[in-house]
Homo-oligomer: A and B are copies of this chain.
Amino acid sequence: MLKIVATPDALRRLSDRWRREGRTIGFVPTMGALHEGHASLIRRAAEECGRVVVSIFVNPKQFGPKEDFARYPRTFAADKKLCAKAGAHAIYFPSAQAMYPPGFSTTVSVSGVTAPLEGARRPGHFDGVATVVAKLLIAARPDRAYFGEKDFQQLAVVRRLAADLDLGCAIVGCRIVRERDGLAMSSRNRYLSPSERAAAPLIHRALALGPGKARAAMRKIPGAKLDYVELVDADTFRKPTPKTKRRRLLAAVRLGATRLIDNTDISC
């Protein structure tokens, strides 16, 4: 039986009870509109933890004023089915009012890894992410929390804040799940028109060409407007240096009104 909890207090009580019973707790934070990428996170959490909570919250604080908060897809009935099938035990489904009641005035900020790429182009976005993830992990107190590598810079932000705030929660990054044609799964893919959808897999294909050729290939995608394609040190998000151990090539591309991101590991 999938439990639905709607307030931070109820989530904390559930988590405390499971901990008293000796269960390990896995946590999968989402904004709903769940797809196979989310399902893979939930299945992994269910393999590794005795109890799994999926949070579904379209977090207003991480959307800019001109972004797609209002039209972001809300598909709770389908999400519930996917959660149950993938092995979740509870859904945390708070209202904006429960998360940010009147008078709310606290912000969690991470510097450094948030400076370039998404952070430079979406002012306030990572403050919104850091604040909501801190709240979720504090209330849920999981042993492990699962994040997809599609939002690779977000994953770095979450690793940083979990370490810095002593959350005592392992942050598990999981590989990008792709459609058969290579398009990274995203709740925003459903915004795409048929012609945009046809062009979208070219983002991944361009990244696969490597840092030298990706930019030119991106510019040739029909109807696409390149936001950035950049190679960074995967830990610091600065320019790679000779000391860099892991390099990551990241891109953001607009197809019509839809902004898509993707990234790939670049072996040194």
Contact = CB atoms under 8 A, between A and B. Distances in A.
Interface of A: 8-9, 12, 16, 19-20, 103-113, 130, 134-135, 138-139, 141, 160-161, 164-168
19 contacts: A8-B168, A9-B166, A16-B19, A20-B20, A103-B160, A105-B110, A105-B111, A105-B160, A106-B108, A106-B111, A106-B130, A106-B160, A107-B108, A107-B109, A108-B109, A138-B165, A138-B166, A138-B167, A138-B168
B109 A166 contact: no
A138 B168 CA distance: 9
Contacts of A109: 106-109
Contacts of A166: 8-9, 12, 135, 138-139
Of A20, A160, A164, chain B has the most CB atoms within 10 Å of the CB of A164
Contacts of A164: 104-106, 135
A103 B238 CA distance: 13
A20 B19 CA distance: 8
Nearest to A107: B109
